Structure 1
Amino acid sequence: MSVPYETACEPAESPETPEEHLARLLGRALNSFELSDEVLERLDTALAYDGSLHSAHHSAGLHRITYRHTWLLADGSAVTLWELVHNTGPTSAPGAPEAPRTEQPGRHEQHELYTDEEEMRAAVARLPLPVDEPVGLDLPVTMPSPPVPLPRHAYVQDNSADHARRLLRRAENADRPGLDTLRLLGTAFAHQITQAFGRPSPAGEARLGYALYEHAFLLADGREISLWEVEHTATPDGRHMCEVYTSESAARGAMAQRASRTT
């Protein structure tokens, strides 16, 4: 039979932080004690969460559903847990809460967590679900989940919001990023500074002492934002000047423009 929509997706809930969602999963999983300390310690650094339906199967009042839960970590890596939800276990004890509308009367849902998809598949294979009919009834429904994009940088947690404020405060160019960017970077969780290379500099740039840096910030919601800092001495008195732009192309364009004025 087709899979009812309300049982193929988790119920809508208020937004949760990655930590709150993990705590809810661990709290309802019967085998959460089997997760290693290493996995749990890595999940303590989670910055963002993504979850999706992986597969679902319904037959003769019994069902099993699997979900893919992925957390993006501060070091740029990701951890995935596979959740198995089914109602094929022992029937509820007398006096237990009434089964939800989507469950078979007398049965209740059980939740299990696995760190490996193959382990989860092995657990699914052990469930006492009826064999699929050859005419195509009770076929499993599988929905692939999109990969979670990983950060491009190796970030460090070091008072990143304050670093962004100080960077923008010392910028002297008139077209520097404004208040909207400053407010957005107030949620920065970590950052990385790298010197940018990749295109030959005009002779004037080298003579005048130009340097280009990328300040990459990782926000609490998992987004990445970069500011591009130009340091140079193309000033009337030869002093160092800082300019900040929201894109590398704008920063390199400003460098080239100043160099052309002094050559």
Structure 2
Amino acid sequence: MNDPHDPYETTETHVERLLGRALNSFELPDSTVERLETALAHSSALHSSHHSSTLHRSTYRHTYLLADGTALSLWELVHNGGRDGAEHHELYADEAEATLAASRLPVTFDGEWGVERSGVLSNDPDDELENDLEVLTALLSRPVPRQPRMYVPDNSADHARRVLRRAENADRPGEETAHRLRVAFAHHITQAFGRQCPVEGRDAGFTLYEHAFLLLDGSEMSLWEVEHTATPDGRHMCEVYEDENTAREAMESRARVR
């Protein structure tokens, strides 16, 4: 399947257009670009999206069939998070890098998610930190607006396995949960929260995802994934929990580290 926006576009033209519009295409490994030159066919699909009154952000997965029979995927982040408000394209060779880049975009929630700051402005960094923590705590305490789930059969059992495998927290779901998810045949991913917050003098990104799975017996089961950069070296870290409240408490705990 070719690009849904232009089903007659050749793979060669698609690659050229993708690389040409990406602001950071020069950061892609040379080996990746060289492999793309042998692409024979491609498929593009929307991976995730977020839309608010101020921010529009979507992530696409572009998969290519290469001449040697292997497949290569690129992750494209499309957003209007720049200062000019124009649409920007960024390209990543790894899903985790694209997710981290998306989490660093400024997010302003409206409606039920809206939080306003009030009071006297202060130049004291501690006061600014307290304000940010108050906003984060207020957001974390709000329930996720439930949206209809659109389950997609897409190797869901393997998706669940990969989510559990990248979890680094000691209290991550155990073997019983992993066993149940082996019969998942469809899943739906929702971003429940996203924000940057100062932690120990630097900005850290926090994102919460719900991975909802439909099992063969008709039951549903969710994993709650926290992705953040509140680590000593600022690296990206994933934590996975079995319920939303525990995941939100973990985020708040991370955000309050001084």
Which structure carries more relative contact order (alpha carbon 8 Å, separation 6+)? 1
Q: Normalising by structure 1, report the TM-score.
A: 0.42
Comparing both structures, which one devotes a greater share of its residues to strand?
A: 2
